[in-house]
Structure 1
Amino acid sequence: MNTDTKSALLDSAEHAARSRGIDGFSYADLATAVGIRKASIHYHFPSKADLSAALMDRYHQSVEAACVEIDHEHSRGGARLAAVIAFYRAALNDGQTLCLCVSFIMGWESLHPPVHAKIDSFRAMMLDWLTATFTRGLADGSIRAVEDPSAEAHAALAMLEGAQIAARACADPARFDQSVRLLLARCDR
């Protein structure tokens, strides 16, 4: 199987997981979507646990790169926070999907411990980035009322994840906007 087919499988699986959850699709669904035999999927991903781990690795790298890009595009903490809020909102695709990490958390019991560890690693990366963002926002005055950057990071990540769930539950991105409105209002961009 070539790299293009593997990428197509990962793309299809990520879309399915983000829109229907980890239990909402099968290898047969992926085979149909990509136009290959089911046995061909098992060549690269012997089990759904292997596929889930590969998805989480790829997602982690992608979001980490997005955070680096945000850092390069915005010098102020408030602008960085506003940009990551916009990133999480865009992941909703008009209320039809969740970010992969939130989707996987929703199906936690179906995931194997190595995937749990990858989710924990992803969330730790996001918490570190958010802590640095709140620290910068405190230092440059672009995020109001910051007392503890680490506590702010934990609250912000929980808010972003919860706002996605609220929006997805109603297929209405306005629910996301309502949930993050006060956080966004604290940002001077």
Structure 2
Amino acid sequence: MTTDTKTALLDSAEHASRARGFDGFSYADLAEAVGIRKASIHYHFPTKAALSAALMDRYHACLERTCAQIDSRHETAAGRLKALIDFYRDALNGGKTLCLCVSFIASRESLTDDVKAKISAFRKMMIDWIRDVYVLGSADKTIAGITDPAQEARATLALLEGAHLAARSDETIEVFDEAVQTLLSRCRP
């Protein structure tokens, strides 16, 4: 039961963070959502800082698995880039939520240095993976106009994160779709 409660707390906290920001929920909100006493949350996560660190660790591991799955399912760089764009699009939940990392970045002042370092590590992992997609794209010619894979990886992640914020601001997926059109137009079949 302990694992189930902890997972339920993480799930609830992630949803709340992605929908309202990390500062937009309290332990009382989590207790109500999971159906436990507020004091019981402290058994699993003594502080909100500990909760945020656990959320980032879980999200990082999830995205590493997602990237590995994309690699195994898509041989071409264009296929991998499109799959990543689809992942970010799906994370918007129709404009109602942000990806966890973007949500946390918006609450940066409330986060500990440890969590900020976890966000940096997460972003580095994503930039490295996207860079590898562009390196493959140079080799397989399925992404047009690649000049500097590392620079393009940083710009791509920034575009995806910015498109998330813009779509969330308007609560509409169309804003995201419009923002990523240039990326998609570079992909060849």
1:27 is displaced (CA, Å) by 0.1
Residue 74 of structure 1: aligned partner: 74
What SS does structure 2 have at the residue aligned with 1:94?
A: helix
Residue 86 of structure 2: aligned partner: 86
Deviations 1:90-140 (A, max 9, x none): 000000000000000000001010000000000000000000000001110
Q: Does 1:141 align with 2:146?
A: no
CA separation in 1, counterparts of 2:95 and 2:174?
9
Q: Does 1:54 align with 2:54?
A: yes
* Matching residue's letter, 1:112: T
CA separation in 2, counterparts of 1:27 and 1:117?
24
CA separation in 1, counterparts of 2:50 and 2:107?
15
CA separation in 2, counterparts of 1:2 and 1:43?
10
CA separation in 1, counterparts of 2:106 and 2:175?
18
CA separation in 2, counterparts of 1:188 and 1:127?
21
* Matching residue's letter, 1:151: Q
* Matching residue's letter, 1:123: R
Residue 150 of structure 2: aligned partner: 150
Runs of 4+ in 1 over 3 A off after TM superposition: none
* Matching residue's letter, 1:175: V
CA separation in 1, counterparts of 2:44 and 2:9?
10
What SS does structure 1 have at the residue aligned with 2:188?
A: coil
CA separation in 2, counterparts of 1:31 and 1:142?
49
Counting aligned pairs with the same residue, the percent is: 61
Q: TM-score, normalised by structure 2?
A: 0.99
Return 5+ residue gaps in structure 1 as ranges.
Answer: none
1:44 is displaced (CA, Å) by 1.1
Deviations 1:71-106 (A, max 9, x none): 000010011001000000000000000000000000
Deviations 1:2-45 (A, max 9, x none): 10000000000000000000000000000000000011100110
Residue 105 of structure 2: aligned partner: 105
* Matching residue's letter, 2:69: E
CA separation in 1, counterparts of 2:74 and 2:169?
32
* Matching residue's letter, 1:109: E
Residue 119 of structure 1: aligned partner: 119
* Matching residue's letter, 1:53: A
Residue 15 of structure 1: aligned partner: 15
* Matching residue's letter, 1:117: A
* Matching residue's letter, 1:4: D
What SS does structure 1 have at the residue aligned with 2:169?
A: helix
- Report the RMSD for the aligned CA atoms in angstroms: 0.6
